Amino acid sequence: MTQHTSPVPTVDTPLVRLAVDRGIATVTLDSPGNRNALSARLRSQLSEALAQAMADDSVRGVVLTGTGSVFCAGADLKEAGAALRGEPVVPAPGMPELFEQIMGAPKPVVAALNGAARAGGIGLVAAADIALAPKSATFAFTEVRLGLVPAIISVPVAARMHSRQLSRYFLTGELFDATAAAKSGLITQAVPDREMVHALDAVLEGLRGAAPRALSRTKELLGELGAGAIAGPEQRSEALGRMGELSAEFFASADAEEGRAAFFDKRQPRWVP
């Protein structure tokens, strides 16, 4: 497929860019001057780019990345201060809407970090289904050191990080590296910097090879299996019953028939979007 770029509505120079290539939409935060901070304009353009990617039938998955040395520095503190002083605020989606847009999306989102992430930027990382970061990347929940509470980002972050590390890094605001982030569950993999392209390609080839409907339903399934979803024998029995029905539904689908035929014919499957 020839690469094409979709314009994101903007008053000025775009702060978010969207490009589609071979079934993968790449959404790039492009505001390096303020370390890709989550200003109202950037949030609006990010939301629009994600919506366009999800509405594109040719797209199997989405990569979320950034330009410059920082993936995302979190909230735009200058803008937040101006709002508190009563200055006009540009209407824009809030962080809860963005997190829900990513976590509830019908297609997988892969965060491919280009550098450091802080505060709300880490929320974007946690909201993604898969997250890869170069080993040189650093992370910090800086809220407590700014007199703030990491409240909104706690929803996606707590779903990823192990509780002991979550407590430590939330309460201290200390810096931690990509290796520690991977051990904590925050990211999927800490990758040697020079190998990021290859690591991302491996993930994307997996998404490109998947049946679109099965891929979407599997992402939904992962959400259903969140923390505490199967807490006891009764919930387990009920979940197994639902999963049996879901398995039978997809075993009988046209996609599964095509997948079996491709396997026995030793060819690539021809999925219908």
Q: Which residues are catalytic?
A: 143
3-class DSSP state for residue 97?
Answer: helix
CB 65 within 8 Å of CB 26: yes
If you ran DSSP here, which 8-state letter would residue 193 be given?
A: G
- How would you classify residue 208: left for phi > 0, otherwise alpha for psi between -120 and 50, otherwise beta? alpha
Distance between CA atoms of 12 and 43, rounded to whole angstroms? 14
H/E stretch holding 176: strand 176-177
Distance between CA atoms of 81 and 160, rounded to whole angstroms? 30
H/E stretch holding 20: strand 16-21
Q: How crowded is residue 24: how many other Cβ atoms within 10 Å of its Cβ?
A: 23
- Ranges assigned E (strand) in 22-90: 24-29, 61-66, 70-72
CB 107 within 8 Å of CB 85: no
Q: Which two tokens stand for residue 141?
A: 């929940």
Burial 219-244 (b: 16+ CB within 10 A, else e): beeeeeeeeeebeeeeeeeeeeeeee
